[in-house]
Amino acid sequence: MQIESVWAREVLDSRGNPTVEAEIKVKGHTISAIAPSGASTGTWEALELRDGDKSRYGGKGVLKAVENVRGPIAKALVGMDPSDQEAIDRAMIELDGTENKSNLGGNAMVAVSLAAVRAGAFAEGIPMYEHIGRDHATLPVPMLNIINGGKHAGGNLKIQECMIIPAGAKSFSECLRMSSEVYMSLKSLLKDKYGVSAVNIGDEGGFAPPVDTVDEALTTITDAVSDAGYAPGKDIFLAIDAASSEFFEDGVYNVDGLKLSAGELSDHYVQLTKDHPLISIEDPFFEDDFATTAELTKAVGKRVQIVGDDLFVTNSKRLRRGIDEGAANALLLKVNQIGTITEAGEAAQMSFDNGYNVVVSHRSGESEDTTIADLSVGWGSGEIKTGAPARGERTAKYNRLLRIEEQLGSKARFPGLSKFSI
């Protein structure tokens, strides 16, 4: 069986910005996937190729990336076996020839890589999660961003994401129900406390209320958990994505109305874990600060998941450094950060081999594409981060996981609290 054709077009993501949709034709059927895009991006991520033509989409057009798919990438991949994901990805990596995918564009390559994994599953006549992992049947524990801050919301809250983790549930479907109930409880609470404008939503479907500090946000979420009839720290836990590079300037962290050194910020996080049922902290420090991340991991890592996003950017070289230095204990896996399924899978495997958790993640600029849901099951990550239980580009992933859970039936496994050191 061979890839018959490769095509691409410019489409829109959930923020209304252009992105790349790639198509691969196999057995007369066209299989497509869409590249996601981040707002808060790490310096070391694969380059997202934009046109720079201010007359179209404010310079954010992706016609160059589209042409790279239609031209050199298509020429390289037509005739290849669609089920050989590594060969497809290696062909693109070789064709690009750069460390950061700047020749072809990370957005062009990831769209094709995602389409290829879908086409491979179709060619084999099996579900995508089975094509990816063969024997994995683990549904992920979701991390749901229900209060948006930072670049995702534009308010005073510097911390980018405040999340709930319904790890006390017994199944994924129960997880999702609990999360939706807490989300609705929070909506009512915010409206009563701050007014109707407080329930406006940010990029990832979470609310963007006028809270000033992460302590205020987490306290509000805890109240919503209780109001929904659940026990904080037993049924539902909390997590934050600090995205601290976004509020780091001249050696100082400007957060929660304070100007903190790295050490002071570390103490701030430790106190938050004492005051709230907080079991996961993502990117607690500037993206190149492996040392302080290691110190925080040593201090709280036995009871708190310390996640590297901008720190690792799904790059095995940076992950290797983190493992060697003891920085973080979990990888946030975003395929578009590195550019291909194969390279992301290598980072996942390195994490598993070294006792690091893996959180398969969306981006703030998303689409109706659901590939990451299958990746989380196929790789057996046990965790997924894909936004609030709201907005179609977020619920599409959750609904896909509901369908997978139903397909797996009695084979489905749900790790719950076992994924976390508590």
Active site residues: 204, 334
- Other C-beta atoms lying within 10 Å of the C-beta of residue 94: 9
Between CA 385 and CA 309 the distance in angstroms is: 12
Between CA 183 and CA 163 the distance in angstroms is: 10
Task: Encode burial over 273-303: b for 16+ CB neighbours within 10 A, e otherwise.
Answer: beebbbbbbbbbbbbebbebbbbbbebbbee
Q: Got the DSSP string for 176-230?
A: HHHHHHHHHHHHHHHHHHH-GGGG-B-TTS-B-----SHHHHHHHHHHHHHHTT-
Please give the backbone phi and psi of residue 150, each rounded to the nearest 5 degrees, phi first.
55, -140
Q: How far is the CA of 319 from the CAs of 132, 288, 328, 350, 385, in angstroms?
A: 22, 12, 10, 8, 19
Q: How far is the CA of 237 from the CAs of 101, 191, 251, 374, in angstroms?
A: 37, 23, 31, 24
Q: Could you tell me the two tokens for 132?
A: 């990816």
Adjacent-strand bridge partners of 239? 163, 280
Task: Encode burial over 131-162: b for 16+ CB neighbours within 10 A, e otherwise.
Answer: bbbeebbbbbbbbbbbbbbbbbbebebbbbbb
How many Å from the N-terminal Cα to the C-terminal Cα in the chain?
48
Q: Where are the beta strands (DSSP E) in 13-111?
A: 18-26, 29-34
Query: How many CA within 13 A on the CB side of residue 293?
Result: 33
Q: Could you tell me the two tokens for 245?
A: 């590079």
Closest C-alpha to 308, from 265, 367, 245: 245
